[in-house]
Amino acid sequence: MTNISDYTLDHLDVLESEAVHIFREVVGEFDRPVLLFSGGKDSVVMLHLAVKAFAPSPVPFPVLHVDTGHNFPEVITYRDETVDRLGVRLVVAHVQDWIDDGRLRERSDGTRNPLQTVPLLESIVSNKFDAVFGGGRRDEEKARAKERVFSLRDEFGQWDPRRQRPELWDVYNGRHRPGEHVRVFPLSNWTEVDVWRYIEREDIALPQLYFSHERDVFARDGMWLTAGDWGGPTGNEQVVRKTVRYRTVGDMSCTGAVESTATSVSDVIVEVAASRLTERGATRADDRMSEAAMEDRKREGYF
């Protein structure tokens, strides 16, 4: 706990203050910021911080959700209730719209996660967003460990490591050319446990699937996936009823549940602290694919 009598700050207060400083810098420097809001815990924490940063004024920017059409229905409900309660404007980019008019094609494996990029970038361009808050954390994986708080993206939304700007002190450089935008990561220095401890401390409501519940699932690639119209189970995959929860929330086709009896935030903190697997390693098929791809590339160069 922060101790006023000896003028020391708890680490969560330091992280909170840093994130709020980042939000205020962006609103001071950019014309049209937007916050990526999926209803996932990191985006929920971001929005909570944005509310605190500008209180008693309302949050001075809208939120954007790229809806794959394979999102968990309870997360969509949570998303809509949250933006209503806070009076925040919600912009939704439906991947289905891009599929319907032929700009995107459905993949043979049924997953729509890779299809999110085009709707995201086109929404950024059509809404003229110049700063995009994302919930990425540097502890998530090795590539993100080198990501800046302010990360410049070119007209194609691409990240060019050679153009990364050195980031000194708390002086952020958000200069960008027309057509470019800046991704901003206020939670850069938070870990998964920090996020959960903050959710507990601030008593932040989350979608129920973060907590233990019974669900029809089937095993694929060593993960428990939710059975549904999006494309599973197939072949000889067996549906079973399990007591599970989700550690991350994404597209149903690639987000796995973990077996868990954690019904409260404090249960989750105990579970996360004791976990032997990283959050993404445990539950994200998309990252497993990219991790393997990354190692392949390394091998080609190295051996």
Residues for the chain: how many in total?
A: 303
Question: What is the distance between the alpha carbons of residues 85 and 83, in angstroms, rounded to a whole number?
Answer: 5
| 36 sits near other proteins (criterion: CB under 8 A) | no
Residue 248 near residue 179 (C-beta atoms within 8 A): no
Among 96, 127, 191, 208, binds other proteins (CB under 8 A): 191
CB 92 within 8 A of CB 98: no
Binding of other proteins by 287 (CB under 8 A): no
**Cis (ω within 30 of 0) for the bond into 56?**
yes
User: 270 is written with which tokens?
Assistant: 């105990």
Q: Which of 271, 281, 286, 290 binds other proteins (CB under 8 A)?
A: 281
Residues numbered 114-173 forming contacts with other proteins, rule: CB under 8 A: 138-139, 142-143, 145-146, 152, 161-171, 173
Alpha helical stretches, state H, the chain? 11-29, 41-54, 73-86, 95-100, 117-126, 192-202, 265-274, 279-283, 285-302
Stretch near other proteins under the rule CB under 8 A, chosen from 9-17, 35-43, 71-79, 101-109: 9-17
Q: Does 17 bind other proteins (CB under 8 A)?
A: yes
Q: Which is nearer to other proteins, 194 or 251 (CB)?
A: 194
Q: Per CB under 8 A, which region of 18-26, 77-85, 235-243, 244-252 contacts other proteins? A: 18-26
Stretch that binds other proteins, among 21-29, 31-39, 117-125, 126-134 (CB under 8 A): 21-29
State the minimum distance, in angstroms, from the CB of residue 215 to other proteins: 23
What is the C-alpha separation between 91 and 35, in angstroms, rounded?
10
Q: How far is the CB of 139 from other proteins (least distance, A)?
A: 5
Neighbours of 15 (CB within 10 A): 22
CB of 234 to other proteins, least distance (A): 26
Cβ proximity of 165 and 150 under 8 Å: yes
Taking CB under 8 A as the rule, does residue 103 contact other proteins?
no
The closest of 284, 173, 135 to 220, measured between CA atoms, is: 284
Instruction: Report CA Rg, the chain.
Output: 20
Query: Which position among 98, 194, 246, 268 is part of the footprint of other proteins (CB under 8 A)?
Result: 194
If binding is defined by CB under 8 A, does position 4 make contact with other proteins?
yes
Question: What's the farthest any 2 CA atoms get from each other in the chain?
Answer: 64
Give the residues lining the site for other proteins (CB under 8 A).
1-4, 6-18, 20-21, 24-25, 27-28, 52-58, 138-139, 142-143, 145-146, 152, 161-171, 173, 175-177, 188-189, 191, 193-194, 275-278, 281-282, 291, 295, 298, 301-303
